[in-house]
Amino acid sequence: MFRKAPGGATALAASEPLVAPPREFDFSDDDFRALIKLAYEHAGIALSESKRNLVYSRLSRRLRTLKMGSFREYREFLLSEASEIENFINSISTNHTKFFREDHHFDHFRARVAVPFSQSVGSAGRASLRVWSAGCSSGEEPYTISVVLKRELRSFINRDVKILATDIDTDVLNRASRGEFAPNTIDDVPKPYLSFFKHATIDGKEKVVIDDDLRSIIAFRRLNLMDPWPFRGLFDAIFCRNVMIYFDGPTKANLIERFANQIKPGGWLYIGHSESLTGTHPQLRAVGRTIYRRSE
């Protein structure tokens, strides 16, 4: 039954059941199960039944790009073209971040890492500083870390300071490396740090740009956290925030163990506001909201 809605539009009566529009591509249970299995095997991403529509909508874009007619055809393509796995992971990855997100972490990082380092540069054992932003997305997190360090150190010249920024998604890494952002992305940046962000017009559009000095200490690299890590040195601090929410318990526990072994004694691990360690860890002690310290 139909009725007239305000303004003359025709609407379904309240008792009329809504019928979902037909999908552009066939998407069977087998398609869904096979794709989430690949996501788990290649990236540790655990997708539940509730993510079925997300998987469909994200990957439909790839099917259109590749001019494919079905998810079955796409699954066969994934098996025959190893290079497509990267595009597959890029498509289903969720990237949401902002400057100074969960700002209490950066208050702590400034007080317990940046300030002590600035006061002890040149002293024994504090000649270098290494920070890892794991799951850096479009770069707001590592740039925030760089800004906090710049405020305390004033200059990076003759300072052995490095930030490793990694992500599995090559698309967001490319955006991050450019250091160009929309003006409203700094709306929530604390006032003491606003002067470090510069405004410029690029291709006729207003942008916030990260200057070369802040970018000089950051290395952007693709890294799948499930793979062997290619570095041997330890970090003073690791940020891995709002990444582990996509992993199941065993995957998360294994990752925490690897992080603990990659942090210097007395160093710090920062995780997301909705995350926690699975039980306790012999090397990590909670010292604040989602902040952990490795035993010395």
Nearest C-alpha neighbor of 152 from the set 108, 105, 119: 119
Is residue 211 part of the annotated active site? The answer reads no
Three-state DSSP class for 221?
Answer: strand
Contact present, 106 and 148 (Cβ < 8 Å): yes
Active site residue 58: yes
Residue at 32: amino acid letter:
F
Please name the residue that has the structure tokens 């790839």. 62
Adjacent-strand bridge partners of 209: 180, 198
Q: For residues 53 and 170, what is the distance between their CA atoms, to the nearest angstrom?
A: 23
- Which residues does residue 131 pair with via DSSP β-bridges, in sequence order? 163, 237
Question: How are the residues of the chain apportioned to helix, strand and coil, as percentages rounded to the nearest 5?
Answer: 45, 20, 35
Catalytic pick among 31, 62, 167, 236: 167
68: phi > 0 → left, psi -120 to 50 → alpha, else beta; which? beta
CB atoms within 10 A of CB 146: 26
First to last CA, the chain: 72
Which helix (H) or strand (E) is 267 found in, with range? strand 263-271
Per the residue annotation, which of 52, 58, 126, 175 is the catalytic one? 58
Query: Strands, DSSP E only, in 57-179?
Result: 128-134, 160-167
List C-alpha distances in Å: 7 to 3, 10, 11, 187: 12, 9, 11, 39
- Active-site positions? 58, 167
